[in-house]
Amino acid sequence: MAKKKTISENDIISFYMDHVLEHSAQPKSVYSFSKANNFEEAKFYEFFGSFKALEKHILKAFFDNTMAVLHKSDEFQSFDARNKLLSFYFTFFENLTANRSYVVYALNQHKNSLKNVSLLSGLKKSFTHFISLLDIETLDIKQEQFEKIQNKALQESAWIQLILTMKFWMEDTSASFEKTDIYIEKSVNTSFDVLNIAPLKSVIDFGKFIFKEKIYTD
C-alpha cells in the first residue's frame, strides 16, 4: 500500500490519541507508529521530535484552540479580567471534556503532582502569559522589583488554581460535570474577591462547597 503523501500535524495527533486509548500505552517506536498509520516516519519528525514532545503539544493545543474560539468573540474582547478568565475556564474545560478519555489517561499517572509535571510545561507557559495580559488589579507598589515579585506570584497562584480545577474535573462524576462548573465559578470569583479585598462571603461559600464535596466523596 502506498504511503500517505500528505499528512498534517492534526492527523498525527489524532493517530496518537487513538493509539494510546486503544492500547493504554505509547507506541513502541515512531517507526511502528508511522507504519501502522501508513505514513513515512520522516513525516512525524517534521512536526515532533519525540512522543514526549507530541504529548506536551497536545495539552498546549487545547489551550490554543480555546484562545482561538475566544478571540473570535467580540463580546470576549469587551470583558473585564474576571469574565475573561471565567470564559477561558469554561471554554477550556469544554475542550478537555470533548477529549476526556485521552486527557485523563495522559494525566492520571501524575494527578498527585500535576503542578511540576513537565508534560504541562507548554500549557503553563501559555496560560501564565495569558494571565499576564489580563491586567488584573493588584496592590499599587511603586517599586519595580516588588511589582515583578507580585506579578510572578499572581501567575503562579493562577496556575495552581488551574491545576486544582483540572484535578477536580478528573475526579468529577456529576452529570455533564456540573460540579466542575460550580467549582470554576466559585474559585475564580473567590480569587478576584480576595484581590479586591471584597467581603469574605464568597470565600466562605467556596470553603463550604469544598468541605461538602470532601465529606461525601471520601
Residue 140 pLDDT exceeds 50: no
**Can you read off the three cell numbers belonging to residue 94?**
469544554
Scan for cell 517506536, then name that residue. Answer: 29
Residues 98, 17, single domain; the answer is no
- 98 shares a domain with 29: no
Opening angle at CA 122, ends 117 and 126, nearest 5: 125
Residue 172 belongs to some domain of the structure: yes
181 with 102, same domain: the answer is yes
188 and 86 in a common domain: yes
Q: Are residues 19 and 123 in the same domain?
A: no
Distance in angstroms (rounded) separating the CA atoms of residues 112 and 46:
34
Judge whether 167 lies within some domain. Answer: yes
Share of the chain above pLDDT 70, in %: 79
Q: What share of the chain is helix, strand, coil (3-state, %, to 5)?
A: 75, 0, 25
On whether residue 150 sits in a domain, the answer given is yes
Handedness of CA 170, 93, 101, 166 (dihedral sign): negative
For residue 149, is pLDDT > 80? no
The confidence score (pLDDT) of residue 139 equals 41
Domain count, the chain: 2
Is the pLDDT at 202 greater than 80, yes or no? no
Q: Please, what is the Cα angle at 63 between 61 and 69, to 5 degrees? A: 100
Enclosing domain of residue 151:
74-217
- Sequence-ordered strand ranges (E) for the chain: none
- For residue 67, being part of any structural domain is answered with no
Is 62 part of any domain? no
Residue 202 near residue 186, CB atoms below 8 Å: yes
Quick one: 137 and 39 in the same domain? no
Distance of CA 11 to the CA centre of its chain: 21
- In this structure, the answer to whether residues 138 and 211 fall within a common structural domain is yes
The answer on pLDDT for 61 being more than 70 is yes
Assess whether 42 and 88 both reside in one domain.
no
Q: Are 62 and 95 in contact (CB under 8 A)?
A: yes
Residues 37 and 78 in one domain: no
Do 80 and 43 share a structural domain? no
pTM of structure:
0.83
For residue range 152-182, list pLDDT tens digits in order.
888 888 999 999 999 999 999 999 999 999 9
**pLDDT score of 137 more than 70:** no
User: How far apart are alpha carbons 151 and 110 in whole angstroms?
Assistant: 27
**Across residues 23-35, what is the average pLDDT?**
95
Residue at grid coordinates 475564580? 188
Please indicate, yes or no, if residue 3 is contained in any of the structural domains: no
**Within a domain: residue 66?**
no
Residue 197: band (very low, low, confident or very high) from pLDDT cuts 50, 70, 90 = very low
Instruction: Flag the least confident range among 96-100, 111-115, 147-151, 176-180.
Output: 111-115
Q: Is residue 2 part of a domain?
A: no
Task: State how far the Cα of 138 lies from the Cα of 128, in Å rounded to an integer.
Answer: 16
